[in-house]
Structure 1
Amino acid sequence: MPTLTRRHLIAAAAAAATTLALAACGDDDEGGGSSTNGAVSDADVQAALRKGGALTVWAWEPTLKQVVAEFQQAYPSVKVNLVNAGTGNDQYTALQNAIAAGSGIPDVAQLEYFALPQFALAKSVTDLSRFSAGSLKDRYTPGPWASVHSGDGVYGLPMDSGPMALFYNKQVLDSHGIAIPATWAEYLDAARRLHRADPKAYIINDTGDAGFTTSLIWQAGGKPYRVDGTDVTIDFTDPGSTEFVRVWSALISEKLLAPIASWSDQWFQGIGNGSIATLATGAWMPANFTSSAPSGAGKWRVAPLPQWQAGAGASAENGGSSLAIPEKTAAKTLAYGFIRYAAEGDGVQVRIDNGAFPATTAHLRSPEFLGAGFEYFGGQKANEIFARSAQQVVTGWSYLPFQVYANSVFNDTVGKAYVSSTTLADGLRAWQEQCARYGTEQGFTVK
């Protein structure tokens, strides 16, 4: 479980109380040509790329392998060592250990959006404002761009995104005369009808997942987390959370959710054989259908996410990562050249060609991207739905500055509602209280 030590978090909290927008002030080893105020121009970045050097990149996302190969062809003086230091939490633990030890720190690190605020608050990653990264705002969709901010700083560049959609088994729904649910109320009704018709079939699987839960609350307009420096508010009684509890409590209590963990062999089998009829998840999912549930090909389609209020046209993000630059690297300018290439430059198309879903508006609007047919989904142009969802992500969402910890204790609190008599509302209350205690212990003022 990747958590900051109390000493590090209290120190981070004190620093954050002063300001979260201080630009990094160290000089780069590769001679980026930065001015006295720490600003680095695009010309400085290009000069660093021409001069070259070595970079170590920690990331688990598979399409980056081809990005690195293409980048090194474009900039032959740069040698990139791509290291898989573990997926998600495993990498965050390794990165925190390296930062604490002061050695072995990579020059670039992949950080999921929910994890970025924790590293930003601790000043473990560089504020990219010195590179005028703020000028890139209009090149990204709103959700991912908002997710790389902490205070006034920009602490990473969005690498991909997960605007949500409803993946559904058309064959299963059609066989039972069930229409595609347009609202979550209709979704609950569909769940009841499906399970009555076939007790072995479920509308969806869910054994309790922090990211999924917060994404649906986000879509409902919920704002359970409020962060202002070291002042944090946690409130799962807000209207969006209440809407989620109302529908999901019924799904749980009526045993309408397949008790199967996502990403398990049984889960992929359910997707393939139709015993799991829908998935509400991010736009990065299609490649996983193709590789791990091939027997479902031609049966599945994509639709907009059901709405909490009919016709609202609201969506949320589920998943997605940024590329950030650890504060203690001496190669910041060279590292920025790489993350700009991978997350906003030519590397974006490389990743799309290898199955990734972008966060860049230009790619999401391109006729080639929107017009691509998905064989798995019967030739459907699913990117049109994903791109529309990306533009409909509800604004104003924020994560906790210790969200990595919060997610790690989700199953100890909210998860009990799926396997015991604990209600979902009580589970969320217990999660709120445990996170509040932790935040207080780490030096935050938590309400």
Structure 2
Amino acid sequence: MSLKTRRALSGTGLLCALALLATACGGSSDTSSAPKNMSEKDIDAALEKGGTITVWAWEPTLRSVAADFRKKYPKVKVELVNPGTSNDAYTALSNAVSAGKGVPDVAQIEYFALGQYTLGKSLTDLSPFGAGDLADKYTPGPWNAVASEQGVHGLPMDSGPMALFYNKKVFDKHGIEVPTTWDEYVEAGRKLHKADPDVYIANDTGDAGMTSSMLWQAGSRLFKADGSDITVDFSEQTTAAYTETWQKLISEDLVAPITGWTDEWYQGLGDGTIATLVSAAWMPANFASGVKGASGDWRVAPLPQWTAGGRASAENGGSSLVLPEAGRNEALAYAFVRYANAGEGVQTRLAEGAFPATRAELESEDFRNTEFEYFGGQQANKIFAESAAMVPDDWNYLPYQAYANSVFNDTAGQAYVSGTTLAEGLRNWEKAIVKYGTEQGFSVNK
């Protein structure tokens, strides 16, 4: 069934299925129209005339960006609204789009959630605004998340190239070398846990985003999406590198059964019982604020590789700023998004601890040479920047990735709490993803 036919048959039901997080659906949401050109002259004229734009975002550095933008363009009023983070924000946005009223001019959407809105024709294609000319400003992972053959549906705001955070104090105490491969990582976990049964190489209770990132780095390409045609590939050939390695950590009790972002997790990072954290470049600020007592103990290292000498990384997290199709004041909205994500606002956000998606900042000597007091004066941005450059740009998310992530712990996550193997759990996750997609009218291929 074609996307056009399915839209005609299902009406607002398709948007509700794609939005997934919406609590109610109203009238038709298809306010899309043919793209119209927006010249630089048009944008300048709009800024001179002025007006009001509403921006829905939870990212804290945008407060300063909005204030600076208002100073530069005093005739433009920016109403910055925090609709809640992630799921809450998508619920609010989906409800507004469905109702056809109250839609913001600009919205923050994480990369994994963009597909549900682009397929639902809910976002403005920014190509006619000249957004495609900005492609070279960004690293491959974030740009690939916002751009496709169907258009450019947002500008990257930040990125999450991955790295290995490790407790140097604990590693030194037990004579552990920093692992450069995942096999070495498993061996380090064994040595640590043998030396002190209270110490674990990491914590893990199953996380969809983390698992996807690890498979991304390992060369797996779980999903391909072409409109309503979806290909899902969880075959052993594509997942074995990850499942065989991570199963050892689970089966040998080398990972602490502690869920991230809990008090117990922060305590484990602070007292050294959790010795490493596989995370992204946005993590340092969380260490500094949430694990203050361990300042100086931790360091950053490149992400271990699946094969010795490999050069691959992955992203974890990151958001874009988009223009909802039903929003108003497109010229002003685009001007703000470009200012925040490709202009002067980038430096404002960096000064407040954000991690950029832009090449110029990642390649800047000032940025790379920044010393992190928390990490013993280490110039950690050099590692993050190198990681960003090694992210393969052919990763795709599902157009219903939010749903897929929501059923991860009921499927793949069972490997952490039952006799189910991780390989079996991933196959069960695949079945749930295929079943749901088929029920929603997608053509799902395996």
TM-score bracket, shorter-length normalisation: over 0.9
**Partner in structure 1 of residue 325 of structure 2:** 327
Asked whether the 8 Å contact 1:12–1:123 carries over to 2, the reply is: no
**Partner in structure 2 of residue 446 of structure 1:** 444
Q: Distance between the aligned counterparts of 2:350 and 2:239, measured in 1? A: 34
Tell me which of 183, 186, 203 is aligned to 2:184: 186
Q: Deviations over 1:401-439 (max 9, x none)?
A: 110111111111111111111111111111111111111
Q: Distance between the aligned counterparts of 1:389 and 1:316, measured in 2? A: 8
Q: Distance between the aligned counterparts of 1:90 and 1:397, measured in 2? A: 26
**Partner in structure 2 of residue 31 of structure 1:** none
CA distance 1:361–1:346, shift in 2 (3 Å): same
| Counterpart mapping for 1:417-428 below 5 A | 417-428=415-426
Q: Distance between the aligned counterparts of 1:323 and 1:197, measured in 2? A: 48
* 1:212 pairs with 2:210: yes
Q: Distance between the aligned counterparts of 2:12 and 2:245, measured in 1? A: 40
**Partner in structure 1 of residue 298 of structure 2:** 300
Asked whether the 8 Å contact 1:211–1:318 carries over to 2, the reply is: yes
Secondary structure of residue in 2 paired with 1:416: helix
TM-score by length of 1: 0.92
Asked whether the 8 Å contact 2:31–2:325 carries over to 1, the reply is: no
Q: Distance between the aligned counterparts of 1:229 and 1:276, measured in 2? A: 42
**Partner in structure 2 of residue 356 of structure 1:** 354
Tell me which of 171, 174, 184 is aligned to 2:172: 174
Deviation at 1:223, TM superposition (A): 0.5
141-150 or 42-51: bigger deviation: 42-51
Tell me which of 117, 126, 129 is aligned to 1:128: 126
**Partner in structure 2 of residue 30 of structure 1:** none
Q: Deviations over 1:104-137 (max 9, x none)?
A: 1111110000001111110111111111111101
**Partner in structure 1 of residue 3 of structure 2:** none
**Partner in structure 1 of residue 342 of structure 2:** 344
**Runs (4+) off by over 3 Å:** 4-14, 22-26
Deviation at 1:375, TM superposition (A): 0.2
**Partner in structure 2 of residue 288 of structure 1:** 286
**Partner in structure 2 of residue 274 of structure 1:** 272
Q: Distance between the aligned counterparts of 2:110 and 2:426, measured in 1? A: 23
Deviation at 1:395, TM superposition (A): 2.5
Secondary structure of residue in 2 paired with 1:369: helix
Q: Please tell me the residue identity of whatever aligns with 2:438.
A: T
Q: Deviations over 1:302-342 (max 9, x none)?
A: 11000001111110000000001100012111100000010
Q: Distance between the aligned counterparts of 2:135 and 2:343, measured in 1? A: 14
* 1:366 pairs with 2:364: yes
Deviation at 1:12, TM superposition (A): 9.9
Q: Please tell me the residue identity of whatever aligns with 1:152.
A: Q
Q: Please tell me the residue identity of whatever aligns with 2:71.
A: Q
| Residue ranges of structure 2 left out of the alignment (5+ in a row) | 1-6, 19-29
Q: Distance between the aligned counterparts of 1:258 and 1:8, measured in 2? A: 44
Q: Please tell me the residue identity of whatever aligns with 1:91.
A: A
CA distance 1:356–1:306, shift in 2 (3 Å): same
Deviation at 1:10, TM superposition (A): 4.0
Q: Distance between the aligned counterparts of 2:393 and 2:306, measured in 1? A: 16
CA distance 1:171–1:329, shift in 2 (3 Å): same
**Partner in structure 2 of residue 91 of structure 1:** 89
Tell me which of 428, 431, 437 is aligned to 2:429: 431
Deviation at 1:152, TM superposition (A): 3.2
Asked whether the 8 Å contact 1:23–1:126 carries over to 2, the reply is: no
Deviation at 1:370, TM superposition (A): 0.8
Q: Distance between the aligned counterparts of 1:238 and 1:76, measured in 2? A: 58
Deviation at 1:55, TM superposition (A): 1.1
Deviation at 1:9, TM superposition (A): 6.0
| Residue ranges of structure 1 left out of the alignment (5+ in a row) | 15-21, 27-36
Percent of aligned positions that are identical: 59
**Partner in structure 1 of residue 250 of structure 2:** 252
Asked whether the 8 Å contact 1:6–1:442 carries over to 2, the reply is: no
**Partner in structure 1 of residue 231 of structure 2:** 233
Q: Distance between the aligned counterparts of 1:48 and 1:371, measured in 2? A: 39
| Counterpart mapping for 1:99-178 below 5 A | 99-178=97-176
**Partner in structure 2 of residue 33 of structure 1:** none
